Amino acid sequence: MEVDPDHGAANPRRCAACKYLRRRCAPDCVLAPYFPASRPQRYADVHAVFGTSNVTRVLQSLPVQERGRAADTMATEAHWRVQDPVYGCAGIIDRLQEEIRAVQLELASTRARLAMQMQGMTQHATRQGERSPSSPPPPPPLVAPPAAAHTDNNHRVAVHEEGEFLDPDEFLDLNGQL
């Protein structure tokens, strides 16, 4: 139990929002379940970005079962907005998409080099005729598994024939997904 400085009476532990706002925490405080006193910075970020009245209004407008997710979403967005006031979460998403594109390009390049090496080994073996018993067998061909074309939540999956390598732009269509 804490002593309420305004009233001198003992009251139940106040939530982070009520502590931050220096007010009594009512038993039906809509913010208390989502902003516990043990995480004051979580509420401070949300208050700085969205404001108490907006957060309260949003939470009250939602069904009880969805309020936790909404509070978590607001807290995450507020945290990253405080960390990066210009881009917030969008900056992180953009950086991750750039990393994905870079890895896709590296994968396509590696697959192309492997295909060229495999083709060179096959041509060399053909020119040599039968290989000698002591030479190792050539590695199996590297092919992309056949995939069925389908659309799921605006994501496009292309059909690739055996032996054809995935184009990084087709592998994961990120353009226009934000």
What is the reported pLDDT for 161?
A: 44
Minimum mean pLDDT range among 79-83, 123-127, 142-146? 142-146
Show Cβ contacts of residue 72 under 8 Å, excluding neighbours closer than 6 positions: 34
Instruction: State how many domains the chain has.
Output: 2
Say whether both 26 and 74 belong to one domain. yes
In a domain, 99, yes or no: yes
Say whether both 116 and 78 belong to one domain. no
How many angstroms separate the CA atoms of 2 and 17, rounded? 15
Domain boundary pick from 53, 83, 113: 83
What's the domain range around 121?
Answer: 89-128+144-171
Q: Which residues make beta-bridge pairs with 3?
A: 10
Q: What is the pTM of this model?
A: 0.51
* Percent of the chain scoring above 90 in pLDDT: 41
Show Cβ contacts of residue 26 under 8 Å, excluding neighbours closer than 6 positions: none
Say whether both 101 and 152 belong to one domain. yes
What is the reported pLDDT for 137?
A: 61
Give, as one character, the DSSP assignment of residue 72. H
Confidence of residue 121 (pLDDT cuts 50, 70, 90): confident
Residue in the block written with tokens 């990253």: 80
Minimum mean pLDDT range among 45-59, 105-119, 148-162? 148-162
25 close to 32: Cβ distance less than 8 angstroms = yes
Residue range 58-81: average pLDDT? 94
* Comparison of pLDDT for 127 and 131, the residue scoring more: 127
Say whether both 40 and 95 belong to one domain. no
CA atoms within 13 A on the CB side of 159: 4
In a domain, 4, yes or no: no
